[in-house]
Amino acid sequence: MRLTCIAATLFLTNCVWIVPAGGQAFGRADRGEPGDWTIQIYLANATKKTNEFVLGDCHSAADWQRQRPRYHEEYLYMLGLWPLPPKTPLEVKVTGTLAGQGYVVEMIHYQSRPGLYVTGNLYRPPEIKSGQRLPAVLYVCGHSGMGRNGNKTAYQSHGIWFARHGYICLTLDTLQLGEIASIHHGTYREGRWWWHSRGYTPAGVECWNGVRGIDYLVSRPDVDPQRIAVTGISGGGAATFWIAAADERVKVAVPVSGMADLESYVTNRVINGHCDCMFLYNTFQWPWTRIAALVAPRALLFVNSNQDAIFPMDANYRVAARLTIAYRLLGKREMFDSFVSIGGHAYRKDIRQAVFRFINQHLKNDPAEVTDSEVDLVESGPSGKRFPISPERLRVFPKDSDIPADQLNTRIDEHFVPIARPDPPKPGQFEPWRSRLQQELRRVVFRCFPERIPPGRPWHRVGQDEVRLETEPEIEIPLRRAGEFEQPAELKRILLVIEGPKSTDAPGSWLKQAVRPGDQVYYCAPRGIGPTRWTRKNPPNYVERCHVLLGRTVDTGRVWDVIAAARYLKKQHSASVPVHVAGEGATAVLAAYAALWEPDIDGAVLYRPPHTHMDPDAPQLLNVLRVCDIPDALGMLAPKPITLFADQSEHWQRTSAAYAALGKPEALTIARQ
């Protein structure tokens, strides 16, 4: 079966799709701050580097089979699901049942993890013969605000249709719009930047809830475990990809308006139209369509609408083209198809018919045209929406008092991805301890770094004491010599002070205390600070959120800038003159990580750094809390000398223990303030 329409017809010539030039942008680009243009070019160029062949270095089906386990593990990691959480008892409860014409609905909940409740409606035929096993559909919902009833109730017509046609259909509430509502908007709107450091994305929760939903389905005696499909629109379309890519028990996937690509999300700003559940954190810097390719060679119908602003057609053509090539390489071209409807972001008759028909074909071997897709739909009218079943009757927890007191849904972001708590090294074990942690930091936090960051390149001078350094292509930062400190008669140390967004021209008392005779002081304002600042709108936090789609964060780039500036200064002076970095608060943490990676940085002066990346003011470093926290990072600096100004020395016991394990406790000075 080939599902197409005239508006969606694509042309394939020698495995290259002919697509319209340019792309559909989501709103105007920011131009209100001096750094807007350059950071957007930087992000666009980084996007281009990710779009290599979707299957990576696989050039045959055999290559793909060898590489796929690694890709699968990386994929789960990027969702916050690797190592896989234990599959704890589901504790399934049916809280109510109702019968309709040709179907029965069960109000059901289970715990995908202890305390993480998933509410749903299970639709089934009213009569199932003993021993009969039916195909099953996991229906994952889009962002339909149905309040206390849960967004599952907005999609009831799909469950009814599947039940009437001999399926078991489990329709799940999402985390944010379910009966026990949490949030999808942590970095989009809520300022929970520690989500990046923790590696937490609600996409991982939606994926895991779906995987555990499949666990429940296959446990039922009336479900055929070899015939499982997953489908949904919008957020449910994205969740369809998450679940089908993660779980090979899914034999058929039909995402509707669920995926664009990095060119669209980043370069054309379509990320601004989406909340956080639509994205994993691209730690391993994948071309985005590789997520969908993990479904191959299983049956996949890629559905979209030609006037959908948040899943635009230029991206649709590219994704469909790349998937066609992937399926063809795997020798399963017939298992992939695409369908485009005429209209905006919604279900219409032709989409419903295409979805139902494709699932029928691949789970029932029935390619017949669907003629009854428009029965019992949820319809809008002058007096509001009309539902086949009153949404209140589909509640799993009828009253607020029924909601379990032990629920973790509303704070699952604090529990879903564990925080690493490495033990300090034992005496004589410092080097293997540091090597292990640095290797993992390199793999999943600073993966975008080269083996060694090159010195900044002088771009142009601004007066006698300031130079603009190019640290990366399109990234330029100011470096200036401090005029408020006396020039040393004999240069003994270079002190590079990192400025933050709240920095002023006047140095703090801590810096005056830290400067020693013979110091030459310089100030560095890394990217996004001062003259290179970019527009920040909350929501959608475009720049910061785009970075994680490219496997980095803004603060990862700032660590890069500090290293590049330090190496530039080292070149400008005698190699025997030590370079120390200094910072206050968040910039002290940037200084510490720069000293960790760069041999030319000989020590650090750190004033009141936050003691954890969970602190709202701490720098955001992708996945760092899955490896270590700030005290461990400082401990890895041994034997480099650190002066640490801190009120609570107990927060830095692991740092002290690391220096002691190396036999260099005197190199760490903790000065109380």
Clarify whether residues 178 and 236 are in a common domain: yes
Clarify whether residues 384 and 480 are in a common domain: no
Domain closes at, from 353, 381, 414: 414
Write the CATH number for 300: 3.40.50.1820
Beta-bridge partner residues of 524: 479, 498
In a domain, 259, yes or no: yes
The first and second tokens of residue 206, run together, are 């939606």
Clarify whether residues 59 and 174 are in a common domain: yes
Region of 94 please: left (phi>0), alpha (psi -120 to 50) or beta.
beta
pLDDT digits (tens, 9 = 90+) for 304-350: 999 999 999 999 999 999 999 999 999 999 999 999 999 999 999 99
Residue 27 phi/psi, 5-degree rounding, is: 80, 175
In a domain, 648, yes or no: no
In a domain, 46, yes or no: no
Clarify whether residues 369 and 454 are in a common domain: no
Clarify whether residues 65 and 208 are in a common domain: yes
In a domain, 18, yes or no: no
Clarify whether residues 381 and 461 are in a common domain: no
Residue type, 13: T
In a domain, 15, yes or no: no
In a domain, 249, yes or no: yes
In a domain, 176, yes or no: yes
Closest to 613 in 3D by CA, of 635, 633, 595, 636: 633
pLDDT digits (tens, 9 = 90+) for 114-123: 999 999 999 9
Clarify whether residues 309 and 444 are in a common domain: no
pLDDT digits (tens, 9 = 90+) for 538-549: 999 999 999 999
Beta-bridge partner residues of 477: 469
Predicted local distance difference test score (pLDDT) of residue 486: 87
Closest to 261 in 3D by CA, of 205, 327, 310: 310
Clarify whether residues 366 and 233 are in a common domain: yes
Clarify whether residues 407 and 532 are in a common domain: no
pLDDT digits (tens, 9 = 90+) for 560-576: 999 999 999 999 998 89
The pTM of the full predicted model, rounded to 2 decimals, is: 0.95
pLDDT higher than 60, residue 3: no
Region of 80 please: left (phi>0), alpha (psi -120 to 50) or beta.
left
Clarify whether residues 495 and 407 are in a common domain: no
How many domains, the chain?
A: 2
Residue with tokens 């350059």: 38
Closest to 485 in 3D by CA, of 474, 476, 497, 471: 497
Omega within 30 of 0 (cis) for the link into 639 = yes
pLDDT higher than 50, residue 587: yes
Write the CATH number for 485: 3.40.50
Closest to 643 in 3D by CA, of 668, 608, 666, 662: 668
Clarify whether residues 389 and 443 are in a common domain: no
Clarify whether residues 208 and 75 are in a common domain: yes
In a domain, 531, yes or no: yes
pLDDT higher than 60, residue 14: no
> Other CB atoms closer than 10 Å to residue 92's CB: what's the count?
15
| Cβ burial, residue 109 (10 Å; 0-12/13-18/19+) | buried
Q: How far apart are the first and last CA of the chain?
A: 73
Spatial contact of 245 and 75, defined as CB atoms under 8 Å apart: yes
Provide the percentage of residues in the chain whose pLDDT is more than 70.
96
Binned at pLDDT 50, 70 and 90, residue 11 comes out as very low
The 3-state DSSP class for residue 227 equals strand
Separation CA 116–CA 408 (nearest Å): 5
pLDDT higher than 80, residue 389: yes
> Other CB atoms closer than 10 Å to residue 517's CB: what's the count?
10
Per-residue pLDDT averaged across 286-311, rounded?
97
Separation CA 511–CA 607 (nearest Å): 8
Sign of the Cα torsion 201, 271, 69, 448 reads negative
pLDDT digits (tens, 9 = 90+) for 498-537: 999 876 656 678 999 999 999 999 999 999 999 999 999 9
Range of the domain at 84: 54-414
Sign of the Cα torsion 281, 533, 50, 593 reads negative
